[in-house]
Amino acid sequence: MTKAIKLLTALPRKQRERLLELAQEVSFPEDTRIFEAGGTADRFWVIRSGAVHLDQQVTPHRRITVATLGAGDLLGWSWLFPPYEWDFGAVAFSQVRAYEFDGAAVLALCVEDPLLGLSLVRTVAEILAHRLEVTRGRLMEQYTMPRRGI
């Protein structure tokens, strides 16, 4: 499996600096719901410290964790694609510190600087491809493990 891609370290220095000019430092206490599936996706975060669980509601009373994100990870990509709604929910598993970015401001910067826009979209695509690979691996492990007697 390939190593996880970190958004800010994957961008060239000048593009990273331009993007960070739009960042706001935020924090979320442990157990804070950051966003809910189906909500409006108008921002994203790069986690500086702590852990966030991405989850999916599977029944009215049950959620499952589909991924855990930590320092350097991108939290939220739905701001980049219509219909601009979160596909999963996210909750702070521990105290979280992060850089928060306004999606509209970042998209405007991408129009102004097409090379930054291309780098950003390419990096987000690589992150999503890596997460899909990890999920596929987990599913394969789950369904190829020998079953015990009935």
**pTM higher than 0.85:** yes
pLDDT in tens, 12-21: 999 999 999 9
Domain that holds residue 79: 7-141
The answer to whether residue 100 sits within a structural domain is yes
CATH number (domain holding residue 104): 2.60.120.10
pLDDT of residue 3 exceeding 80, the answer is no
The answer to whether residue 95 sits within a structural domain is yes
pLDDT in tens, 62-111: 998 888 999 999 999 999 999 999 999 999 999 999 999 999 999 999 99
Residue 19 burial by CB count (10 A; 0-12/13-18/19+): exposed, middle or buried? buried
pLDDT in tens, 21-58: 999 999 999 999 999 999 999 999 999 999 999 999 98
Confidence of residue 1 (pLDDT cuts 50, 70, 90): very low
The answer to whether residue 84 sits within a structural domain is yes
Residue of higher predicted confidence among 141 and 85 = 85
Pairing of strands 62-69, 52-59: antiparallel
- Which residue is listed with tokens 């996210």? 90
Rg (CA), the chain: 17
The answer to whether residue 147 sits within a structural domain is no
Q: How many domains does the chain have?
A: 1
The answer to whether residue 49 sits within a structural domain is yes
